[in-house]
Structure 1
Amino acid sequence: MSTSARIAVALGPLLGVLLLAGCGGSGDGTAEAAVDTPACLASLTPTAVPKDGSFPEDWPFPDGTVVTGTEQVPGGGLAVTAQVGAEFNQVLPFMQHDLEDAGFVATKGEAERDDAEATWAGHGWSGTWAIKESETCKGTTLLQVAAVEQ
C-alpha cells in the first residue's frame, strides 16, 4: 500500500468525525477575514496552527478561513479544522487548483454537490483534505486538513 493510501486510511475517519463536529475550539490565533464574511463566523474562536513542525508552515488556506481547532493525529501529524467564509463552490476551485499551484498536489480525490475530499502530497508532506458545505452557518464551508511529514 502506498504512503498516500496508508495516510488516507488512517486519517479518513478522523476527518469525517471532525467535519461532522463542525466548529469549535479555542486559542488566540487569527485568520484573514473575507470582505463579505457571514455573521455566524463572528462567534467562532480562532485557533493558531502550531509552528512546531507538525503541519506545513507554507500550507495556503483560502481567504476568509478561521481555524477553529487542531488535533494531533495518531501516529504523527496534525489535523486542522476550519471554517471558510465562502460558499462551497468558491472554495472547491481553491482546493483543486491553488493548492496544486502552491505545490500540494492531489493524488486522488472526489467531489460531489456539497462535499469533496482528496489525498495530497507536496513539500515533504502528505495527507488529506475535505470540505463540506456548512449546514449551520449558511454561506460558509467546513474545511479539514490532515498532514504528516514524510
Structure 2
Amino acid sequence: MTGIKNHFEPLYDQDRNLVGIWLSPELWRKAEAILSPAIDKALEALSPETVKEQPEPIKDWEALSQFWDFNYPMPTDVSCELCGSHTDDWQKDEPRIFRLRSASMGGMVNFQCQECKARIIKKHFKKHVDVECRPFVEK
C-alpha cells in the first residue's frame, strides 16, 4: 500500500520494543470518531484510578429542600424503569444506587442510575411529580 508510512508509523526504541504509534493529522481526522471512544475505554481500563467521579451537588439538593413549599412531602424515592433499580431514599444508599446529577430551585432533579447509567428526571410541580427515564447515550 503506497503512502501508509506517510500516515501510520510504529515507533520503536533502540532495543526494538514498540513504544508508540504515530498517526498523521489527516489519518487522525478520518479515524477520530471511531478511535477516540475506544481509546477512552482502554485508558479507563489501564488507569481506573484516574477516572474521578464528579461530586454530587448536595448543596443544590439542600437548597431545594430548604425552600420546599409544595403540598406534598419532598420525595426521595427513585426508580429506573429501564433496569428496574429502585430505592425509597436515594440519600441513604451506600453505595449509591442513584447519583444526584443536578437539582434546581425550579424543582427539577436529575439522577443517574448506577446500574444502567440511565437518567431519571423528576419534575416537581405544585400538585404532582412527572418522572422521565432516558436511556444512557454515549457521547
TM-score (norm 1): 0.29
Higher relative contact order (CA 8 A, sep 6+): 1
Higher radius of gyration, 1 or 2: 2
Higher helix share: 2
